[in-house]
Amino acid sequence: MAPYDVKRELKKFYAPRNTAWAVVDVPAQRFIAVDGTGNPNTSPRYTAAVEALYAVAYTVKFAAKRTDGGDFVVGPLEGLWWADDYAAFTTGAKDSWSWTMLIGLPEWITDGMVAEAREAALAKKKRPEIAEVRVVSLHEGPSAQVLHTGPYDDEAPLLAELHDTYLAANGLRPRGRHHEIYLGDPRRTAPEKLRTVLRQPVEPVTP
């Protein structure tokens, strides 16, 4: 049997084709997560957090092969993003950004398995950020979602369209944090070919 792959199992949410905003109903999921603040392009904290997530994710993966659930493909890097002033995202004021970086977990991976993987990864790599990796649950439900192709810095017009036009036109308002799923590796993929799922949980505007 092929290893579990979230991009295949939840294709609607990890491989969308729509390049204009559309509302989808996102199911509950569990993730490993690390928090931080600052510019993801220049912050050592961001780099260390991402490395810690992958260290734990791959340790869990190897342990999962010995369980009834079996092997899985480590999912793409994801992030929740927020700032005191939303304009920080449309103007590129990245030093004021806060974030929670995520990697999804198959449903059979327990909190105990993550704790064991965290301890094993910490003992091997000696990076303090690994100790901060935790399990979080998200159930975003109704969310505006779109596939963006191109450099990360070119997302601003789509985000401005969402907040300045799309939400009001559809009687919606933001609920929860902006969510991004990174389907390409910026170290190996040309910027113009990067694919990113942009997602914003929403709710109806009540009179």
Query: Which pLDDT tens digit goes with each residue over 21-39?
Result: 999 999 999 999 999 999 9
- Record the pTM: 0.94
- In the structure encoding, which two tokens stand for residue 173, read together? 């308002």
What does the DSSP 8-state code read for residue 19? S
> What gap in Å lies between CA 109 and CA 127, rounded to an integer?
23
Whole-Å CA distances, 105 to 60, 123, 181? 9, 22, 14
State the burial class of residue 190 (Cβ atoms within 10 Å of its Cβ: 0-12, 13-18, 19+): exposed
More confident residue, 67 or 135: 135
Q: What pLDDT score does 69 carry?
A: 85
